[in-house]
Amino acid sequence: MRLVVGLGNPGARYARNRHNVGFMAVDLIAQRHGVSSFRSRFKGELAEGVIGGARRLLLKPRTFMNDSGESVAETARFFKISLSEIVVIHDEIDLRPGKLRVKCGGGTAGHNGLRSIDALLG
C-alpha cells in the first residue's frame, strides 16, 4: 500500500458526520504516526510520511464524495500508483456504527465514492 485515501465530504457542516469516517480515520493515522502538514494538492489534502517503515501518502479528497475519483486518480497518476497499491477508508451503511469491514477488491456495493474511483481508475 502506497496511498491511503479517506473518503468524506468537505466543510465544517459534515465534519463529524458518519459519512466522513474516512477523513477521521486518515487524520487519526496521521496523528498516530507523526505525519503532519497536509497540503492542498490534486483536489484534496495530501500528506506524506513514513508508516510501517515505508513512505506512504495520505489523501483526503476535497471534492464531494460522489466525485472522489477525480482527486484519487490525479494523485495516483502523478505518483504512478497502481490500483492495487491504494487503500480506501469509507463509511458502510450496512454496518452498525463502530463496526469495520476489510475487503480486498470486489464491487462498489452502491457506494458513490467508490464508484467514482472505480470509473476513473478501475
CATH number at residue 63: 3.40.50.1470
Among candidate residues 6, 24, 119, the one with its CA nearest the CA of residue 62: 6
| Cα–chain center distance at 102 | 14
**Would you call 19 a catalytic residue per the annotation?**
yes
Helix (H) or strand (E) holding 73: helix 68-79
pTM: 0.90
Tens-digit pLDDT profile for residues 33-58: 999 899 999 999 999 999 999 999 99
Provide the grid cell at 99.
Answer: 463496526
Domain range for 10 = 3-121
> Choosing from 19, 33, 90, 111, which is the catalytic residue?
19
Domain count across the chain: 1
Tens-digit pLDDT profile for residues 58-97: 999 999 989 999 999 999 999 999 999 999 998 877 778 7
Q: Give me the pLDDT at residue 99, please.
A: 73
